[in-house]
Structure 1
Amino acid sequence: MLNKIIRYFLENRVITMLLLLLVVVWGISTSPFNWHGGIIPRNPIPVDAIPDIGDNQQIVATEWMGRSPKDIQDQITYPLTTSLLGIPGVKSIRSSSMFGMSFIYIIFDDNIEFYWSRSRILEKLNSLPPGTLPEGVQPALGPDATALGQIYWYTLEGRNPETGKPTGGWNAEELRTIQDFYVKYSLSAAEGVSEVASAGGFVKEYQIELNPDAMRAFNISVMDIMNAVKKSNLDIGAETMEINKVEYLIRGLGYIKDVSDLEKAVVTVRDGVPVRISDVAFVNIGPGTRRGGLDKEGIEAVGGVVVARYGANPLEVIDNVKTKIKEIEAGLPQKTLEDGTVSKVTVVPFYDRTNLIKETIGTLETSLSHEILICIIVIIVLVLNLRASVIIASMLPIAVLATFILMKYTGIEANIVALSGIAIAIGVMVDVGVVFVESIIRYMEMPENKDIKRGKAFVSLIYKAVSEVSGAIATAMITTIVSFLPVFAMEAQEGKMFSPLAYTKTYALASAFILGLIILPTLSYLLFSVRINSKMIRKVANYLLVVAGIVLLVIYGSIPALGLTAVGVNNLFASYWKNPKMSTYINIGITLLVAIYYLSEEWLPMGPQAGLSANILFVAACILIILSLLWILVIYYEKILRWCLSHRWLFMIIPAATIVFGFMIWRKIGEEFMPSLNEGSFLLMPTSMPHTGIAQNLDYIEALDKRLAAIPEVETAIGKWGRVNSALDPAPAQMFENTINYRPEYILNEDGQRERFKVNGKGEYFLKDGGTYNPADGFRLIPRDSLIPDRKGDYFRQWRPEIKNTNDIWQQIVNVTHLPGLTSAPKLQPIEARLVMLSTGMRAPMGLKIYGPDLETIEQSGKAIEQALKEVPSVIPSSVFYDRAVGAPYLEIKLNRDNMARYGVNVEDLQEILSAAVGGMVLTTTVEGRERFPVRLRYARELRDNPEALSMLLVPTATGAQIPLKELADIDYTRGAQMIQSENTFLVGYVIFDKTSGKAEVDVVKEATRVLDQKIKDGELRLAKGVSYKFAGNYEQQERATQRLAIVVPLALLIVLLVLYFQFKTVTASLIHFSGVFVAFAGGFILLWLYGQDWFMNFSVGGENMRDLFQMHTINLSVAVWVGFIALFGVATDDGVLMGTYIHQTFLQQNPTTKEAIREAVVTAGLKRVRPAAMTTATTLIALLPVLTSTGKGADIMVPMAIPTFGGMLIQSMTMFVVPVLQCWWRESVIKKEQKKQNIQMNTSDEK
Structure 2
Amino acid sequence: MLNKIIKFFLDNRLVTILLLLVLVVGGLATAPFNWHGGLIPRDPIAVDAIPDIGDNQQIVATEWMGRSPKDIQEQITYPLTTSLLGIPGVRTIRSTSMFGMSFIYVVFEDNIEFYWSRSRILEKLNSLPAGTLPQGVQPTLGPDATALGQIFWYTLEGRDSKTGKPTGGWDPDELRTIQDFYVKYSLSTARGVSEVASIGGFVKEYQVELSPNAMRSFGVSIMDVMSAIQKSNIDIGAETVEINRVEYLIRGLGYIKNIKDIEEAVIAARNGVPVRIKDVAFVTTGPAPRRGGLDKEGVEAVGAVVVARFGSNPLEVIDNVKAKIKEIEPGLPQKTLADGTVSKVTVVPFYDRTGIIKETIGTLESALSHEILIVIIVIIVLVFNLRASIIISSLLPIAVLATFMMMKLTGISANIVALSGIAIAIGVVADVGVVFVESIIRYKEMPENKHIQGGKTLLKIIYASVCEVSVPIATAMITTIVSFIPVFAMEGQEGKLFSPLAYTKTYVLGFAFLIGVVILPTIAYLVFAVKIHSAKMRQIGNWLLVVAGVILAIWFGNIIALGLTVIGVNNLTSHLWKNIQMNTYINLAITLLIAVHFLADEWLPLGPERGFFLNILFVALAVGAVLAVLWVLVIYYERILRWSLSHRTIFLLIPFSTIVFGVTIWLGFDRTFGFLSFGSQKIRASAVWQSAVKRFPGVGQEFMPTLNEGTFLLMPTSMPYTGVEQNLELIGTLDKRISHIPEVEQTVGKWGRVNSALDPAPIQMYENTINYRSEYALNEDGQRGRFKVDKDGAFVLKNGSLYQPANGFRRVPVDSLIRDSKGDYLRQWRPEIRSTNDIWQQIVNASHLPGLTSSPKLQPIEARLVMLSTGMRAPMGIKIYGPDLEAIETAGKDIEQALKSISSIVPSSVFYDRA
Same fold (TM over 0.5): yes
Query: Which residue of structure 2 aligns with residue 877 of structure 1?
Result: 907
- What residue number does 2:538 align with? 538
Once the two structures are superposed, the pairs formed by residues 1093-1242 of structure 1 within 5 Å of their partners are: none
Give, as a single letter, the amino acid of the residue that structure 2 aligns with 1:305.
V
Matched residue, 2:183? 183
Paired with 1:219 and 1:240, the residues of 2 have a C-alpha distance of: 38
Aligned match of 1:725: 755
Q: CA deviation at 1:762?
A: 2.3
Give the alignment of 1:82-121 within 5 angstroms.
82-121=82-121
Cross-structure match for 1:345: 345
Shift of 1:577: 0.9
User: Whose RCO is larger (CA < 8 A, sep 6+)?
Assistant: 1
Q: How does 1:349-748 map to 2 (within 5 A)?
A: 349-668=349-668, 669-748=699-778
> C-alpha separation between the residues in 2 aligned to 1:771 and 1:181?
45
Which AA in structure 2 matches 1:580? I
Residue-by-residue CA offset, 1:1115-1169 (whole Å, 9 max, x unaligned): xxxxxxxxxxxxxxxxxxxxxxxxxxxxxxxxxxxxxxxxxxxxxxxxxxxxxxx
Q: Aligned partner of 1:860: which letter?
A: T
Provide the rounded CA distance (Å) in 1 between the counterparts of 2:711 and 2:663. 38
Please give the alpha-carbon distance, in whole angstroms, between the structure 1 residues aligned to 2:38 and 2:721. Answer: 62
Structure 1 residues without counterparts, runs of 5 or longer: 886-1248
Please state how far the C-alpha of 1:247 moved relative to its aligned partner: 4.4
Name 1:855's counterpart in structure 2: 885
Please give the secondary structure, in 1, of the residue aligned with 2:325.
Answer: helix
Match of 1:797 among 827, 837, 842: 827
Distance in 1 separating the partners of 2:190 and 2:463:
55
Shift of residue 37 of structure 1? 1.9
Paired letter, 2:97: S
Aligned to 1:820: 850
User: Is 654-663 or 455-464 further displaced after alignment?
Assistant: 654-663
Partner of 2:66: 66
Q: Which moved more, 1:454-463 or 1:169-178?
A: 454-463
Q: Is the 8 A contact 1:681 1:740 kept in 2?
A: yes
Residues 74-106 of structure 1: per-residue CA shift (max 9 Å, x gap): 111111111111111111111100000000011
Per the alignment, residue 135 of structure 1 pairs with 135
SS at match of 1:881: coil
Which residue of 819, 835, 841 maps to 2:871?
Answer: 841
SS in 1 for 2:227: helix
TM-score, normalised to structure 2's length? 0.95
Q: How far has the Cα of 1:479 moved from its partner?
A: 1.7
CA distance in 2, matches of 1:492, 1:716: 36
Partner of 2:861: 831
With 296-305 and 366-375 compared, the bigger mean Cα shift is at 366-375
The one-letter code matched in structure 2 to 1:370 is H
What is the CA–CA distance in structure 2 between the aligned matches of 1:293 and 1:666, rounded to whole Å? Answer: 47
Measured against aligned partners, the alpha-carbon deviations of 1:866-889 in whole angstroms (never above 9, x if no partner) come to: 11111111111111111111xxxx
Contact residue 228 and residue 267 of structure 1 kept, 8 A: yes
Tell me the secondary structure at the aligned position of residue 878 of structure 2: strand
The question of 1:759 aligning with 2:789 is answered yes
Match for residue 1133 of structure 1? Answer: none
Shift in alpha-carbon separation, 1:243–1:323, aligned structure 2, 3 A: farther
Give distance in 2, aligned partners of 1:244 and 1:403: 76
- Counterparts of 2:134 and 2:661, CA distance in 1: 67
Deviation at 1:647, TM superposition (A): 1.7
User: What letter matches 1:407 in structure 2?
Assistant: M
In 2, Cα distance between equivalents of 1:244 and 1:390: 92
Q: Give the aligned partner of residue 1127 of structure 1.
A: none
Kindly provide the amino acid, as one letter, of the partner of residue 757 in structure 1.
F
* Matched-pair contact (CA < 8 Å) for 1:157–1:347: yes
Distance in 2, matches of 1:575 and 1:441, equals: 26
Q: Distance in 2 between matches of 1:249 and 1:590?
A: 90
Distance 1:513 1:591 in 2: 27
Q: CA deviation at 1:805?
A: 0.9
Q: Is this contact kept in 2: 1:559–1:594, CA < 8 A?
A: no
In 2, the alpha carbon distance for the partners of 1:238 and 1:837 equals 54
> Could you say which residue in structure 2 is the equivalent of 1:79?
79
Residues 208, 281 of structure 1: 8 Å contact kept: yes
Structure 2, unmatched stretches of 5+, are: 669-698
CA distance in 2, matches of 1:328, 1:247: 42
Q: Percent identity?
A: 74
CA distance in 2, matches of 1:777, 1:573: 51
Q: Which residue of 2 aligns with 1:900?
A: none
1:456 Cα deviation after fit: 1.6
CA deviation digits over 1:27-48, x for unaligned, max 9? 1111111100231111111111
What SS does the corresponding residue of 1:847 show, helix, strand or coil? Answer: coil
Q: Give the residue type in structure 1 aligned to 2:786.
A: R
Q: Secondary structure at the match of 2:250?
A: strand
**Further displaced range: 775-784 or 94-103:** 775-784
CA drift of 1:838 comes to: 2.2
Supply the distance in 2 between the matched residues of 1:681 and 1:245 (Cα, whole angstroms): 71
Q: What residue is the counterpart of 1:52 in the other structure?
A: 52
Matched AA of 2:815? D
| Conservation of the 8 A alpha-carbon contact between 1:145 and 1:310 | yes
CA deviation string 1:911-938 (max 9, x = no partner): xxxxxxxxxxxxxxxxxxxxxxxxxxxx
Paired residue total: 885
Query: 1:251 aligns to what SS in structure 2?
Result: strand
* SS at 1:640 equivalent: helix
Secondary structure, in 3 states, of the residue corresponding to 1:524?
helix
Computed over aligned residues only, the root mean square deviation of the Cα atoms, in angstroms, reads 1.3
Larger Cα-atom Rg: 1
Alpha-carbon shift at residue 220 of structure 1 (Å)? 2.2
Conservation of the 8 A alpha-carbon contact between 1:156 and 1:348: yes
* Cα displacement string for residues 19-65 of structure 1 (whole angstroms, at most 9, x for unaligned residues): 11111111111111110023111111111111111000110000000
Displacement of 1:368: 0.7
Shift, 1:270, TM fit:
2.4
Distance 2:650 2:815 in 1: 67
2:35 corresponds in structure 1 to: 35
Aligned: 1:155 with 2:155:
yes
In the alignment, residue 811 of structure 1 is paired with which amino acid?
Q
SS in 1 for 2:403: helix
2: CA distance between counterparts of 1:176 and 1:579? 82
The alpha carbon displacement at 1:246 in A equals 4.7
Q: 2:851 is matched by which residue type in structure 1?
A: G
Amino acid at match of 1:413: S
Q: Tell me the distance in 2 between the aligned counterparts of 1:44 and 1:770.
A: 40
Tell me the amino acid that sits aligned with residue 406 of structure 1.
Answer: M
Q: Classify 1:250/1:749 alpha carbon distance in 2 versus 1 (closer, same or farther; 3 Å).
A: farther
Distance 1:691 1:786 in 2: 47
State the SS of the aligned residue for 1:351.
strand
Counterpart CA distance in 2 for 1:790 and 1:85 is: 62
The residue identity in structure 2 corresponding to 1:289 is P
Q: What SS does the corresponding residue of 1:225 show, helix, strand or coil?
A: helix
Q: In 2, Cα distance between the equivalents of 1:674 and 1:770?
A: 47
SS state at 1:848 partner: coil
- Following superposition, the deviation at residue 440 of structure 1 comes to 1.3
CA distance in 1, matches of 2:251, 2:585: 93
**What is the CA deviation profile of residues 98-126 of structure 1, one whole-angstrom value per residue up to 9, with x for unaligned ones?**
00000001111111111111111111111
Counterparts of 2:658 and 2:775, CA distance in 1: 40
SS state at 2:25 partner: helix
Name the counterpart of 1:972: none
Structure 2 CA distance for aligned equivalents of residues 434 and 141 of structure 1: 57
